[in-house]
Amino acid sequence: MRDDLGADVTLPRAPRRVVSLVPSLTEAVATTVPDVLVGATDYCSHPGDLAVARVGGSKYPTVDAVLDCAPELVLANSEENRPEDVRRLREAGVAVWVTAAPATVPKALASLRALFTRAFDAGVPGWLAEAEREWREPAPVTTRAVVPVWRKPWVVLGRDTFGGDVLRRLGIGNAYDGHDDRYPRPPLAELRSRFAEGDAELLVLPDEPYLFTDDDGPGHFPGVPYALVSGRLLTWYGPSLAGARRELAAALTPVTR
CA distance readout (Å), 72 to 6, 46, 60, 120, 129: 19, 22, 20, 11, 27
The whole-number pLDDT of residue 257 equals 62
Mean pLDDT across the chain: 95
Residues of the chain with CATH 3.40.50.1980: 18-133, 143-256
pLDDT at 25: 96
pTM of the predicted protein model: 0.92
Q: Give the whole-angstrom CA distance, residue 99 versus residue 238.
A: 13
Annotate 57-98 with DSSP letters as a single string.
Answer: -SSSB-HHHHHHT--SEEEEETTTS-HHHHHHHHHTT-EEEE
pLDDT, position 256: 72
Query: What pLDDT does residue 10 have?
Result: 94
In this prediction, residues 224-253 reach a mean pLDDT of 95
pLDDT tens for each residue of 136-190:
999 999 999 999 999 999 999 999 999 999 999 999 999 999 999 999 999 999 9
In angstroms, the CA 253 to CA 6 distance is 41
Sign of torsion, CA 206 211 214 218? negative
Domain covering 18-133 in this structure, CATH number: 3.40.50.1980
- Domain 143-256 belongs to what topology? Rossmann fold (3.40.50)
Q: How far is CA 137 from the centre of its chain?
A: 20
Average pLDDT score over residue span 89-113: 96
**pLDDT > 90? residue 94:** yes
Strands of 37-40's sheet in order across = 53-54, 37-40, 18-20, 73-77, 95-99
Nearest to 201 by CA among 178, 227, 165, 238: 227
Cis peptide before 209 (omega within 30 of 0): yes
pLDDT number for residue 58: 84
- Helix-helix angle 162-169:105-114, to 10 degrees: 120
Q: Is residue 47 a contact partner of residue 100, using CB atoms and an 8 Å limit? A: no
**Which residue, among 161, 218, 204, has the nearest Cα to 184 in the 3D structure?**
161
Q: pLDDT tens, 181-235? A: 999 999 999 999 999 999 999 999 999 999 999 999 999 999 999 999 999 999 9
Q: Are 79 and 98 in contact (CB under 8 A)?
A: no
C-beta of residue 21 within 8 angstroms of C-beta of residue 74? yes
